[in-house]
Amino acid sequence: MYKGYNFNTNEVIKRINDSNTDILFVGLGVTRQEKWIIENYKYINVELIIAVGGWFQYLAENKKRAPKFLRQLHLEWLIKLINEFSVVWKRYLIGVPLFFYRVLTKKIQLVIK
């Protein structure tokens, strides 16, 4: 439908609404897609919106996944970190540990109360 990220949001929303779809997959990449969904969900007439990141790149075979043995070991993220370090380092090395820290401290606060 659209190449890259240059599109008219109002036109896209109109086409989505005209399609009468129930589920919308948004694949603009992490952060960009979440911002777009938050800014526009109230104008979109669908039952469910799912942010899929780069999933379409894998489905279209434009990007290769990690070898199966690494996927089975749940280490696919490590290959992405190595191959796309400048894009994902902050998310994987800071964001993920920070998320777990926040979850644990919140859980501890709930137990103490």
In 10 A of CB 50, how many CB atoms?
Answer: 13
pLDDT exceeds cutoff 60 at 19? yes
The domain spans of the chain are 1-63, 64-113
Helix/strand/coil percentages in the chain, nearest 5: 60, 5, 30
In order of 17, 25, 56, 60, the CA distances from 50 in angstroms are: 16, 5, 12, 18
pLDDT exceeds cutoff 80 at 4? no
pLDDT exceeds cutoff 80 at 101? yes
pLDDT of residue 1: 52
Q: How far apart are CA 102 and CA 99, in angstroms?
A: 5
pLDDT band of 45, cuts 50, 70, 90: very high
